[in-house]
Amino acid sequence: MLASRANALCDVWRDEIAGVPTKSYQCTVSEGQVLTTTFMRLSDVMFDSAGGAPLDGPAGEYQSLVRGHRLIETPALETFSRLFETHSFAFEPSNLEVEFDMRGQGLSGREDLSGAGTEGRRWRTLGVWDETLGLFMPAFPLPAVLRRAIENRSGVAGPRFLRHATAEDFRDLDAKRQEYVRLWGANVEDRADLLSFGNLDMLADIEAGSVEGFLPLLFHAGFGQDGCSGAARGGALYVPPALYVDVAVCRNDGAEPAEIEDMFGAAETTTRLRPYDPATPPREERFGWRPVTLAPGESLLAVQRLIFGARPTTLDEETIPATRAVYGPTHLPKGVIVKGQPVAFDGRSHNAVILASYANCCSCPYLESWCPRAEEWIDHGKVLAECDAPERAGSETRHFRDARCRFRISEREHEDTTLTAARLDVTLDDGTTRVFELLDAPRRLTIGESCELAVELPPGIARRARSSALTLWGHYEKFTQARFEARSLALTT
């Protein structure tokens, strides 16, 4: 515990950034030296956007919360970087929203940023930002009673029960996926994009089953229909936890350079996943970080803590409470060291700003495009969403800021998708357009199946290509009960 504190004057300073109320601590350390510190809780998408290209319009104003700071090395940043490099995946959001939550003042809000300079932007995340999303994932081991119900086709309304994941659930994931292949006939490779949304490998990496009560699993058996996102009952339905990044931003608002020798506060060096318990803070100490000198107007950003959490929701009429857990080392600043003296903040400011991507998982069918520069598939969410019957067949066009020439359409749910036509329009540098037909005959897809649509641009066109647009024609149909039972019989005989 630090015994002495400097006689600095710290005032609460309130401001607004793009309509988001923020609360900071402004401390006059000495004549000409004023430090302003703001605490924020960001989604992993929001934090990662700090290193991306600046956004346009209102989205850019929100992004300014995290851009332009000097990122200092902290144990929590090192942990985040390892997780992101290993487990993150790319997507282009169908919807984008900014949420803010000032718990201390009882204020919160949400603003839709769709169409506000975010089109065609590529983002990375460790999971899907949608508190209502339930994923039916082929990985968790089936209890014997559920396996028998599936293999014997014991009826539509099979047994179900709720339990929480254990460490054993995450061992030998590949073998457990193959068990589902045997039971359901699904192709795991075709469903790899859906698996990435649940990010089971990351959950195994952080040992999500080691924290009691952290990850609820709702087990089902039998077959049933539940709208577009209906799933065959035969495994665990769960809501993947999202990653929040707690950060502190410290800015020099004085007229003179300010040297921050260190920070102090609550620290914990534990690396394992553990329950989030704000009632028992870690011990207070100096962090031992490298000194940083900030010029007037310059700021630093320090990653304090990583929190995995899922909001309260309902899975198939089962109420699931909110869960939270801390992963990796934590350093929660309560003040800074300036000229050998600790300058303490008066309490904590509570700003939670979340750039939320709603990737529309668990609706169907789905579109991905191949990005040759990044050499990876980019998820674009659902397509033909309104075309849910033959009589409602229609088209949808997706635009890209570069020349995308390879696409993948996948059916992830218990539905049949029929594609009747596909066209790629490539715009050249002179404003003219070249048209390429991508489908010679109608294609039909059912759950677990996908098809690629591609064209090789002639060299003369490829060099001049500036943008592209893909148009798909078709419809999808949900499985009827008879279709469910026929598939059940085929898979179990």
> Which one of 135-144, 184-193, 357-366, 427-436 scores highest in mean pLDDT?
427-436
Retrieve residue 3's tokens.
Answer: 């015994």
What region, left, alpha or beta, does residue 170 occupy, with left being phi > 0 and alpha being psi -120 to 50 degrees? Answer: alpha
Are 251 and 233 found together in one domain? no
Confidence of residue 361 (pLDDT cuts 50, 70, 90): very low
> Domain boundary at 217, 238, 259, which?
238
How many domains would you assign to the chain?
3
Which residue intervals of 237-368 are DSSP H helices? Answer: none
The answer to whether position 125 is within a domain reads no
3-class secondary structure, 461: helix
For residues 478 and 454, the answer to whether their CB atoms sit within 8 Å is no
The answer to whether position 1 is within a domain reads no
Are 252 and 110 found together in one domain? yes
Are 170 and 247 found together in one domain? no
3-class secondary structure, 197: helix
Confidence check: pLDDT of 77 > 70: yes
The answer to whether position 394 is within a domain reads yes
Confidence check: pLDDT of 430 > 50: yes
The answer to whether position 287 is within a domain reads yes
Tell me the sheet residues that pair with 42: 245
Confidence of residue 119 (pLDDT cuts 50, 70, 90): low
Are 108 and 211 found together in one domain? no
**Which of 255-264, 303-312, 390-399 has the least mean pLDDT?**
303-312
**What average pLDDT does range 232-258 have in this prediction?**
79
For residues 114 and 358, the answer to whether their CB atoms sit within 8 Å is no
Are 378 and 488 found together in one domain? yes
Tokens 């294609």 belong to residue: 443
Confidence check: pLDDT of 300 > 60: yes
Confidence check: pLDDT of 74 > 70: yes
Confidence of residue 400 (pLDDT cuts 50, 70, 90): confident
Are 255 and 106 found together in one domain? yes
Confidence of residue 294 (pLDDT cuts 50, 70, 90): very high
Helix H or strand E encompassing 57? helix 57-63
The answer to whether position 96 is within a domain reads yes
Are 258 and 213 found together in one domain? no
pLDDT given for residue 173 in this prediction: 77
- pLDDT per residue over 476-488, tens digit each? 887 665 555 555 4
Are 268 and 321 found together in one domain? yes
Retrieve residue 20's tokens.
Answer: 């988001």
Confidence check: pLDDT of 328 > 60: yes
Confidence check: pLDDT of 298 > 90: yes
Q: How many CB atoms lie within 10 A of CB 249?
A: 20
Confidence check: pLDDT of 351 > 70: no
> Domain boundary at 324, 358, 392, which?
358
Q: Supply the DSSP symbol for 226.
A: B
Are 331 and 426 found together in one domain? no
Are 251 and 109 found together in one domain? yes
Confidence check: pLDDT of 145 > 60: no
**Which of 58-62, 230-234, 400-404 has the least mean pLDDT?**
230-234
- Which amino acid is residue 315, in one-letter code? L
Are 372 and 473 found together in one domain? yes
Nearest-angstrom CA–CA distance, 194 and 365: 12
The answer to whether position 291 is within a domain reads yes
Confidence of residue 180 (pLDDT cuts 50, 70, 90): low
Nearest-angstrom CA–CA distance, 125 and 114: 18
pLDDT given for residue 78 in this prediction: 94
pLDDT given for residue 331 in this prediction: 92
> Domain boundary at 328, 358, 388, which?
358
Structural domain of 277 = 9-75+88-114+242-358
The answer to whether position 169 is within a domain reads yes
The answer to whether position 42 is within a domain reads yes
Are 327 and 375 found together in one domain? no
**Which of 150-159, 174-183, 460-469 has the least mean pLDDT?**
150-159
Confidence check: pLDDT of 422 > 50: yes
